[in-house]
């Protein structure tokens, strides 16, 4: 037997997805938001998209400065994901709360989170207005990851645990 699910709850059927930390805005006043709605779009050219609500402070930073970085956290950084996903950079400096290290991105003017295991630096290619979230398509200008986590080209989940978002305040990881 199948239960009916309201179409507006469709995203929960597509979870879990990795929880990611997006850094945006110029280095000195950079902000961090948590996201789970990310989509690799193309390998050649390398394009990735993230769905962000106009209610987020970060939305306006990406729109204005036309760049963002995707940082991949591990399960021991779950608290940072919760903090960056429940507070706004409009009111607080999240860097001071999460106590992770702010480092300069390589190719764009923003920060990256040093303790994260991978980083994808993007220049904004296009913003597509669609609904209560809009799509920011980024052209990847630099990508790098922790050697021990990606030595075979894919994430070694026996050593590095991703944060998988199940919806609302629920998370799991990989075996």
Note the residues at the interface with ligand FMN (CB under 6 A). Answer: 19, 31, 33-37, 51-53, 56-58, 81-82, 85-90, 133, 165
Which residue is listed with tokens 């036309």? 66
Distance CA 112, CA 32 (A): 9
Q: Which is nearer to ligand FMN, 99 or 148 (CB)?
A: 99
Q: Which is nearer to ligand FMN, 145 or 167 (CB)?
A: 167
* Nearer to ligand FMN (CB atom), residue 54 or residue 106: 54
Q: How far is the CB of 127 from ligand FMN (least distance, A)?
A: 13
Q: How far is the CB of 50 from ligand FMN (least distance, A)?
A: 7
Q: Which is nearer to ligand FMN, 31 or 74 (CB)?
A: 31
Give the residue nearest to ligand FMN (CB).
85
Smallest distance, ligand FMN to C-beta of residue 76, A: 15
* Among the listed residues 20, 26, 21, 19, the one whose alpha carbon sits nearest the alpha carbon of residue 105: 26
**Shortest spacing between CB 39 and ligand FMN, in angstroms:** 10
Q: How far is the CB of 38 from ligand FMN (least distance, A)?
A: 7
Containing 98, the helix (H) or strand (E) segment is helix 94-98
Which residues, listed in sequence order, are joined to residue 62 by a DSSP beta bridge? Answer: none
Query: CA 40 to CA 105: how far, in whole Å?
Result: 20
Residue with tokens 């394009």: 47
| C-alpha distances in Å from residue 88, one per residue of 55, 56, 57, 83, 108 | 10, 7, 7, 9, 22
Closer to ligand FMN by CB, 25 or 146: give it.
25
What whole-number distance in Å separates Cα of residue 124 and Cα of residue 76?
30
């Amino acid at each position: 037997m199948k239960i009916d699910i309201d179409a507006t709850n469709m995203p929960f059927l597509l979870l879990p997805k990795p929880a990611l930390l997006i850094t945006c805005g110029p280095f000195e006043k950079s902000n961090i938001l948590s996201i789970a709605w990310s989509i690799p779009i193309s390998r050649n050219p390398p394009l990735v998209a993230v769905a962000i609500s106009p209610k987020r402070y970060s939305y306006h930073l990406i729109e204005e400065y036309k760049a963002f970085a995707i940082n991949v956290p591990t399960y021991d950084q779950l608290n940072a994901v919760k903090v960056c996903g429940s507070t706004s950079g409009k009111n607080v400096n999240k860097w001071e709360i999460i106590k992770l290290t702010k480092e300069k991105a390589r190719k764009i003017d923003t920060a990256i989170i040093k303790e994260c295991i991978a980083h994808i630096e993007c220049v904004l290619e296009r913003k597509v207005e669609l609904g209560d979230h809009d799509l920011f398509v980024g052209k990847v200008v630099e990508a790098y990851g922790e050697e021990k986590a990606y030595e075979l080209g894919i994430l070694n989940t026996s050593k590095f645990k991703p944060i998988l978002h199940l919806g609302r305040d629920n998370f799991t990881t990989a075996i």
